[in-house]
Amino acid sequence: MSLNIAIQKTSKKGFVLIAKRMLEEGTTIEVAPAITISSEERARLIDAKIFQYLFVNPHESAASPNSLGYLVLGLMTLCSHSDEPNAKVFWNESGGVFFASIKALRSIAQGEEITVFYTNINEYPNRQQFIDRKSTRLNSSHT
């Protein structure tokens, strides 16, 4: 596991990602490969639990409502949604493989939950469960 992040279980949200140390603005928190999911497959998964772990590329999503999905093979899938996130996902492609990297948009305190803006939050059937208006500092132990 990264020196920067840890998984923590909360009673409200389940598993979340937190900073293990102070992260400065611009810090790359994680880089992970992603599996491309076709728009047809993504549509079939909307009611499946795995849907909450799929990402969309905001540039593709803005261009087409039938955009591809990405199953990121990393811990960033545990980031909660926030309208005022402290991190952002960036997309790169290399040799036919897509990679997602998450970077701090501002300083993130040790123990603070890492949050991102879910581009496709309106597609979530139970979206209220994922909406967190403000980042949360978590004080219990890490796993």
pLDDT above 60: residue 133: no
pLDDT above 60: residue 40: yes
pLDDT at 70: 84
- Higher pLDDT: 44 or 23? It is 23
Q: What is the pLDDT of residues 47-68, one digit of tens each?
A: 777 777 777 766 665 456 677 8
Q: What is the pLDDT of residues 76-99, one digit of tens each?
A: 888 888 889 999 999 898 998 889
Beta strands in 1-143 (DSSP E): 5-10, 14-19, 28-37, 54-55, 69-72, 80-82, 87-94, 97-104, 115-116, 131-132
